[in-house]
Amino acid sequence: MNSSHLLLRSFLTASVLTAWVLPLRAQVEVSASALPTVGVALSGALGGGATEIISTDLRRTGEIEPVGGASGQYYATGVATESGITGQLVNKRTGEVVFNQTFDGHGRLAAHQFSDAITKAVTGLPGFATSRIAFIGGQGRVKELYLADIDGYNVREITHDNTVSASPALSHDGAKIAYASYKSGYLDVYLVDLGTGSRTRISYYPGINSGPSFSPDNSSLALTLSKDGNPEIYTIALNGGIENRITRTRGGETSPSWSPTGDRLVYSSDDHGTPQLFISSSTGVSEMDQLYTGNSYCTKPDWSPDGKTIAFTARVGGQFQVGLFDLATRLGHLVTADGGQDPAWTRDSRHLVYSKHGRLYLLDTVTHKSLPIALSVTADCGEPAVSR
Amino acid sequence: MKMPRRLALLSVLTLALAACSDDKNNPNYGGMGADGSGLPSNQTDQIGGNNADISGIPPTRPANGASPDSADYGTLASDTVYFGFDKAIVNAEERGKLEAVSEWFKANPGHALFLAGHADKRGTPEYNRALGERRAEAVREYLVGLGLSATVLYTTSYGSDPPAVDGDTEEAYAKNRRVEIGVVMQQ
């Protein structure tokens, strides 16, 4: 190896290291005053509660500054009752009525619907106030599947199986949950229809069946099966029939996540010794494109809805942290410093739900601030999934 | 460069396998059974040469649907096999236990074994489930190498739950990275 090659090599190493250890992205500092301001004031029987929910939702986006009364650049008003909200958003500079709409969600949902409509109208970005999280809660050999609103309200225990439920995924329309369970004694994949409450065991090949992920059109699941030997990635139809085998290695592959266009999958493979991230076609065994994140142990990737970033779990100095891999620059960096794992993107491709020491958190990947999600579940919680 | 050659080999293998297995029409697969319906009935012809794959020996479940939870993990408890962090290789110092298991198995006909893989609690649960499975498969392959039939060696993985030993010490973690060997009657 000649000296210029060596120089280039050390330069590249230094760049990668710099990118890796910088705790904040350079461009992140956006002062609060630069954010669009929205005044919120609802009347009606539930007006006070709805005003508070909407203000909290808007602040959580990181893109909007909610303000009191009519002092904002936008003004959100309406009537909140048991049957929903009739809401209006006015652009105060132009006097234009941006929308005048009825939100008929049950309970808190109507306020969240209003919040997402405001977020979309003011920033052009999808809000995630109406999103729900599926997660696993429990200890030892009893871990049940739960569903809750992303703000921690409306917790529902979906399984009561007295066994271990694992690795939930929410369909993109929010209508179904796929997850793995030891209910039969073996690790099999089940599909829950949240509308009807029905549950079907769909994948129970010999070996493990685990880690399902819905394709963007909700017609397929990518998952890990070990039916041919060690754990490999496959895609199956919702009735369990194999569609495609994706990997064929001597290592183990886990945690597939679809690209938003559905043509590719990112997953973890330890075929090279330690778990690393790879991207492959979603239609058959193909070349594995390794993502060099700068870290030797990377698991549980999640592809952002805008297609640009892979979130993952990294093991750094014996600790687990949430990392991001930018597909344009092909560089990785960490977004947590005090621990975190199993990140799942929200709709805006800016926030992540992740777990740390049995609790769930919502992280803003721009400001790197994270807030605990208050859940009325006393057991340890983990493996969060977010509806898109 | 080695990569293109390896890829070419893979492609050949892919085509060869595609020709001899169509999972959608696999008679061993029970398909879309409702919750609690029977397990796929007969897996035995998945074992052996024609389906050989670099992934290893395809696993099976007992034809009578016996649960790994129903196995007796006490009889061979002293032969629990331990693993290094993030490793699924049977260490030299653990191999004597599997020779002892092999001797026990040959002296006690009519039994089958569940090989239950576990991982310590650190890391993402999903990766640990796959790691436990690979540990169970490593033990299975070692026992096949000692002359046992793969058809009476069933694997399962529990991932990080439950630990054998509670706690956050290296000693506890080392006791939890294991494959427990459970005994069931052969049908």
Decide if pLDDT at B26 tops 70: no
Sign of CA dihedral A256, A141, B35, B111: positive
pLDDT at B162 over 70: yes
Number of H helices, E strands in chain B: 4, 4
Which one is predicted more confidently, B132 or A25? B132
Q: Any chain B CB within 8 A of the CB of A64?
A: no
**Residues pairing with A313 in the sheet:** A299, A322
Q: What is the pLDDT of residue A182?
A: 97
pLDDT at A248 over 60: yes
Secondary-structure class of domain A132-386 per CATH? mainly beta
Q: Considering the domain B68-185 in this protein, what is its CATH number?
A: 3.30.1330.60
Amino acid A71: pLDDT: 86
Chain A residues touching residue B31 (CB < 8 angstroms): 239-241
Q: Do residue A226 and residue B130 have CB atoms under 8 angstroms apart?
A: yes
> What is the pLDDT, as a whole number, of residue B151?
94
Residue with tokens 């690979």: B134
Chain A within 8 Å of B41 (Cβ-Cβ)? no
ipTM of the complex: 0.89
With 90 as the cut, is the pLDDT of residue A68 above it?
no
Segment (H or E) for B16: helix B3-20
Q: Is the pLDDT of residue A329 over 90?
A: yes
Contact A85, A50 (CB under 8 A): yes
> When comparing pLDDT for A8 and A287, which is higher?
A287
Residue A278 has pLDDT above 70, yes or no: yes
Does the CA dihedral A262-B126-B31-B57 come out positive or negative? positive
Residue ranges in B91-146 assigned as alpha helix (H): 95-107, 125-145
Collapsed DSSP state (helix, strand, coil) of residue B182: strand
Say what the pLDDT of residue A3 is: 41
What lies within 8 Å, CB to CB, of A155 at 6+ separation is A146, A147, A148, A375, A376, A377
- A6 pLDDT above the threshold of 80: no
Examine the pLDDT at B9 and tell me if it is beyond 90.
Answer: no
Nearest beta carbon to residue B35 from set A182, A200, A297: A200
Q: Decide if A222 contacts A209 (C-beta within 8 A).
A: no
Select from B17, B77, B55, B12 the least CA-distant residue to B141.
B55
Contacts of B176 (CB under 8 A, 6+ apart): B118, B119, B120, B121, B160, B163, B164, B165
Whether the predicted pLDDT of A210 surpasses 60: yes
B57, A229: Cβ pair inside 8 Å? yes
A301 and B CB contact within 8 Å? no
Which whole number is the average pLDDT over A277-303? 96
- Asked if B94 and B139 count as a contact pair (C-beta separation under 8 A), the reply is no
pLDDT given at position B53 = 66
pLDDT average, residue stretch A302-326: 97
CB contact (8 A) between residue B67 and residue A255 = no
Residues from chain A that touch B55, judged by Cβ atoms under 8 A, are 226, 228-230, 232, 248-250
The percentage of chain A sitting over the pLDDT mark of 70, rounded to a whole number, equals: 91
Average pLDDT over residues B83-104: 97
Nearest CB to B59; choose among A226, A240, A270:
A226
Average pLDDT score over residue span A68-93: 94
The answer to whether residue B61 scores a pLDDT higher than 90 is yes
Q: By three-state DSSP, how is residue B28 classified? A: coil
| Residue boundaries of the structural domains of chain A | 28-123, 132-386
Question: To the nearest whole percent, how much of chain A has pLDDT over 90?
Answer: 87
Asked if B76 is an interface residue toward chain A (Cβ–Cβ < 8 A), one would say no
Please indicate whether, in this complex, the C-beta atoms of A248 and B14 are within 8 angstroms of each other.
yes
Which pLDDT does position A33 carry in this prediction? 56
What is the rounded distance in angstroms from the CA atom of residue B109 to the CA atom of residue A1?
A: 61
- Give the pairing type, strands A65-68 and A37-43: parallel
Out of B40, B134, B161, whose CB is closest to A230?
Answer: B134
Rounded Cα distance, A242 and B40, in Å: 15
Q: Give the residue extent of every domain in chain B.
A: 68-185
**pLDDT tens digits, one per residue of A32-66:** 458 999 999 999 999 999 999 999 999 999 999 99
> Least CA distance to A313: which residue of chain B?
B124
pLDDT digits (tens, 9 = 90+) for A108-166: 999 999 999 999 999 999 999 999 999 999 988 899 999 999 999 999 999 999 999 99
User: What would the mean pLDDT of B127-131 be, rounded to a whole number?
Assistant: 98
User: Sorting pLDDT into bands at 50, 70 and 90, what band is B11?
Assistant: very low
Two tokens, residue A112: 């969240």
pLDDT at A23 over 50: no
Our CA-based measurement puts residue A264 at a distance from the nearest CA of chain B, in whole angstroms, of: 18
**Radius of gyration (Cα) for chain B, nearest Å?**
18
Tell me what pLDDT residue B1 has: 38
Task: Give the start-end residues of each E strand in chain B.
Answer: 81-82, 111-118, 153-159, 178-185
What is the per-residue pLDDT for A70? 84
Are the C-beta atoms of A241 and A227 separated by less than 8 Å?
no
Shortest Cα distance, chain A CAs vs residue B119, angstroms? 13
Please answer yes or no on whether B40 and A206 come within 8 Å at the CB atom: yes
Contact state of A204 with B39 under an 8 Å Cβ cutoff? yes
Cα dist from A161 to A157, A166, B184, whole Å: 11, 12, 24
Asked if pLDDT for residue B28 goes beyond 80, the answer is no
Q: Name the residue in chain A with its Cα closest to that of B165.
A: A140
Residue A258 near chain B (CB below 8 Å): no
The pLDDT of residue A264 is 98
Contacts of A240 in chain B (CB under 8 A): 29, 31-32
- Rounded average pLDDT over A170-189: 96
% chain B with pLDDT above 70: 72
Q: Does B168 touch chain A (CB under 8 A)?
A: no
Instruction: From the options 3.30.420.40, 1.10.287.370, 3.40.50.10070, 3.40.50.12780, give the CATH code of A28-123.
Output: 3.40.50.10070
The per-residue pLDDT for A215 is: 98
Query: What's the whole-number mean pLDDT along residues A81-108?
Result: 96
- Least confident among A242-246, B100-104, B161-165: B161-165
